[in-house]
Amino acid sequence: MQIRTVGVVGAGQMGNGIAHVFALAGYDVLLTDVSAEALDAARATIEKNLERQVSRGKVNGDDRDAALARIRTTMTLADLGPSDLIIEAATERETVKQAIFEDLGPHLGPDTILASNTSSISITRLASRTDRPERFMGVHFMNPVPVMQLVELIRGIATSPETYATLHELVEKIGKTASSSEDFPAFIVNRILIPMINEAIYTLYEGVGNVASIDRALKLGANHPMGPLELADFIGLDTCLAIMNVLHDGLADTKYRPCPLLVKYVEAGWLGRKTRRGFYDYTGDEPVPTR
């Protein structure tokens, strides 16, 4: 299975990063979104991030220009159909992802491989809604995609060995490192990471410490580069809640119950950096704890 062209569905934080790394590695990329503004913002973000890599000596100017030339955009999902590989990077809601794959179905080439960048949802279940479960996999990039080294590879129950081998090789070709996970809720990284964040929110909720003290404790006491509440804001509190719900529903264990404070913040629309308010307020020059 040869991959030369890559379609990316969703031009948000993950989608533009995925487009960036594939284009830089020499692949032709077609990026789609339902919003023209999102596509314009994605291209601007990719240009800014490539320029940062050039300024740090990690990429030369010719490679930057070539990567930008390889990225095209469209608002028509069907245009992605002929791509060798299509990676869905839409919001972490199963109904949205299922609708995307169903809409793509009639337009796909016979050999097209489908992948989802989901951070928690069953690959087997998503694949079952397509006409090619054997050519379907989870390919979970970490955020920010151009910087983070890891890609989780998740096989559904029907994923063929050939599909897995193709995508494992592809991850190496784009300069990333693969870690293989079985298809269980939240896979490896988020099964460990998000409950830790949820426990930090419980620690705040129960008054054990405030936002600043909790984040300081983990940064200095466990040598984490970011505190758990700062990290939750970076990920997006809605995404953290969605993953906790997948864990709670999928594993039926009370230890995965989302903290009520997390639920309250999401209900308030305080989703973290992307809404400029979460466990920190980002409206000023420096983030200020909200509790």
Binding site residues for NAD(+), as ranges?
10-15, 33, 92, 97, 119, 143, 274
User: Cα dihedral sign for 71, 102, 241, 270?
Assistant: positive
**Could you confirm whether 190 is annotated as catalytic?**
yes
Q: Of 119, 120, 181, 198, which is the active-site residue? A: 119
Which of 117, 122, 152, 181 is flagged as catalytic?
152
Task: Determine the Cα–Cα distance for residues 193 and 120; give it in Å rounded to an integer.
Answer: 12
The residue from 16, 116, 122, 190 that is catalytic is 190
120 flagged as catalytic: no
- The Cα 44–Cα 28 span in angstroms is 18
Residue 169 is among the residues annotated as catalytic for this protein: no
Helix or strand run (H / E) with residue 102: helix 94-104
How far is the CA of 162 from the CAs of 80, 131, 137, 166, 276, in angstroms? 22, 17, 11, 6, 44
In the annotated binding site, the residues are 10-15, 33, 92, 97, 119, 143, 274
CA angle, 223 as apex, 218 and 226 as ends, to 5°?
Answer: 60
Is 20 noted as a catalytic residue in this protein? no
Q: Which of the following is catalytic: 140, 181, 198, 230?
A: 140
Read off the amino acid at residue 291.
R
Q: Which residues are catalytic, by number?
A: 119, 140, 152, 190
